[in-house]
Structure 1
Amino acid sequence: MSAFIENLGLRPLNTGEPAMARALENVGLVELGLITHSVEHTNFSLGISVFS
């Protein structure tokens, strides 16, 4: 799977256990829902810091 991500020009990030990946996917869905259903502009973003 990481080779596919790299072929897209992105950097894969190991988030650990599958439960964490599921949580991150749900946060993304919440963000999309807020943006899609907002009456006016939604001032919301998903900030992720990667420490190397």
Structure 2
Amino acid sequence: NYNKNRIHSARGAKDVEILLNGCIIFKGEITQACGNITATNDLSGYGE
């Protein structure tokens, strides 16, 4: 869990390329999590 706390949120991938059947469906940067998001279905805490 890379979002366990602020220290762990610095781990993981930043520049990502996701392929589906050999076709790029996402290529870009994933922003760093803030480190204080709890388990929820509310995604408003993600992103900027």
TM-score by length of 1: 0.27
Larger radius of gyration: 1
**Structure with more of its chain in strand, by fraction:** 2
Q: Which has the higher contact order (CA 8 A, sep 6+)?
A: 2
